[in-house]
């Protein structure tokens, strides 16, 4: 199956989402700070989006353009998509049922539940949650919102590319982490080759790399430190033609490189990124993507829903104590 995702449609989607999503900021950083002399890093801070990731754009596009049945919406997710659908459903006054696998971190489960969604934990990996969600959809009549392989999902994610190019034109390359591929597929549909687009995947979950090698989506390993966000077993069929045509290549990064990138983002910029959100930076810092002095490299920091941040529990002082 193929879809026609045009720049006109993407502009219209961006207009539709105004007032519902944040225009996330762009931060220009001297590459010297990360050991990349002479390079300018242009970081799109999409982790500041509602619900902590770009996924909210796709989720809201569904709810703003489709008829929602009485049973509400249902989604399967490794975590971020579930957070986004739960948020979008609450925003629009609809019921959401979210299926997640055991690999979904506690923090993401808590965020989903905090938005009022019904949370169900099924199996070990995304594929298990997806199968359970499909059974629920058939029985309940709820509207299914796929994490990456539906036109509305890709259209919403494409608005990241629209926004990024207007904020930071004339980039030499844009690096985007890949899981199911809805994000990079949507961004590819926007740029259409005007900017070099590079996908980044964990070595433990090379979904797009395997698909490009085979000439079509195929099953790939689905593990690693970013398994909750970048390991759906295979990329979507809808995004694949856009990737074939417009993605320059895919860089694979180790779990160790991803963790090192998370640490570097915190050390240098005090940015907290989840593993999937730091994967694109990992490709630069590990040398998997070569850059040259004078280049401006766009990097999408796509998610920050991590359990790595812990705040101390402080006793709440009573009014009597405060008066002392």
Q: Are residues 156 and 283 in the same domain?
A: yes
> What percentage of the chain reaches a pLDDT higher than 70?
94
111: which 2 tokens? 């965020």
pTM of the entire predicted model: 0.92
Residue 241 resides in a domain: yes
Task: Answer yes or no: is pLDDT of 323 > 80.
Answer: no
Q: What is the pLDDT of residue 1?
A: 61
Domain containing 114: what range?
55-144
How many domains does the chain divide into?
Answer: 2
DSSP state of 26: E
Q: What is the pLDDT of residue 313?
A: 59
Task: Please compute the mean of the pLDDT values over residues 111-126 and round it to a whole number.
Answer: 94
Question: Could you say which of 144, 171, 204 is where a domain stops?
Answer: 144
Residue 228: other Cβ atoms inside 10 A? 27
Cα(151)–Cα(293) distance, integer angstroms: 38
Q: Are residues 86 and 206 in the same domain?
A: no
Q: Are residues 133 and 262 in the same domain?
A: no
Q: Are residues 125 and 196 in the same domain?
A: no
Cα(298)–Cα(57) distance, integer angstroms: 20
Q: Are residues 96 and 214 in the same domain?
A: no
Task: Answer yes or no: is pLDDT of 73 > 80.
Answer: yes
Residue 306 resides in a domain: no
Q: What angle, rounded to 10 degrees, do the helices at 151-167 and 55-65 form?
A: 120
Residue 290 — pLDDT band, cuts 50, 70, 90? very high
pLDDT digits (tens, 9 = 90+) for 232-280: 889 999 999 999 999 999 999 999 999 999 999 999 999 999 898 899 9
Task: Please compute the mean of the pLDDT values over residues 87-100 and round it to a whole number.
Answer: 97
SS3 at position 247? strand
Q: What is the pLDDT of residue 305?
A: 80
> What integer best gives the mean pLDDT of the chain?
92
Q: Are residues 19 and 59 in the same domain?
A: no
The CATH number covering residue 104 comes to 3.40.50.1100
Q: Are residues 136 and 157 in the same domain?
A: no
Question: Could you say which of 126, 144, 162 is where a domain stops?
Answer: 144
pLDDT digits (tens, 9 = 90+) for 307-317: 766 556 556 55
Q: Are residues 127 and 90 in the same domain?
A: yes
Task: Please compute the mean of the pLDDT values over residues 278-283 and round it to a whole number.
Answer: 96
């Amino acid at each position: 199956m193929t879809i026609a995702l045009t720049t006109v449609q993407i502009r219209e989607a961006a207009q539709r989402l105004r007032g519902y999503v944040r225009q996330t900021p762009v931060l220009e950083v001297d590459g010297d700070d990360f050991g990349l002399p002479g390079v300018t890093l242009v970081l799109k801070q999409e982790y500041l989006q509602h619900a902590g990731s770009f996924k909210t754009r796709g989720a809201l596009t569904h709810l703003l353009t489709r008829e929602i049945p009485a049973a509400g919406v249902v989604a399967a997710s490794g975590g971020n998509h579930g957070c986004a659908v739960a948020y979008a459903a609450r925003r629009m006054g609809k019921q959401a049922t979210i299926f997640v696998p055991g690999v979904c971190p506690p923090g993401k489960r808590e965020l989903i539940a905090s938005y009022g969604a019904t949370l169900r934990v099924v199996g070990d990996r995304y594929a298990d949650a997806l199968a359970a969600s499909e059974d629920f959809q058939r029985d309940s009549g709820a509207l299914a919102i796929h994490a990456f392989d539906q036109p509305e999902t890709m259209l919403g994610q494409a608005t990241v590319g629209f926004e990024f190019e207007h904020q930071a034109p004339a980039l030499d390359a844009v690096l985007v982490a890949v899981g199911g591929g809805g994000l990079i597929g949507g961004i590819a549909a926007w740029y259409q080759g005007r900017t070099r687009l590079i996908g980044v995947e964990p070595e433990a979950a090379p979904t797009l790399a395997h698909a490009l090698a085979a000439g079509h989506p195929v099953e790939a390993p689905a593990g690693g430190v970013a398994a909750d966000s970048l390991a759906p077993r295979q990329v979507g069929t809808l995004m694949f033609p856009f990737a074939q045509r417009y993605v320059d290549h895919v860089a694979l990064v180790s779990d160790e490189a991803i963790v090192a990138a998370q640490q570097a983002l915190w050390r240098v910029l005090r940015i907290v990124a989840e593993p999937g959100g730091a994967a694109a930076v990992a490709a630069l810092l590990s040398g998997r993507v070569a850059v040259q002095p004078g280049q401006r490299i766009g990097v999408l920091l796509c998610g920050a829903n991590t359990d790595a941040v812990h705040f101390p529990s402080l006793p709440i002082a009573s009014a009597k104590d405060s008066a002392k």
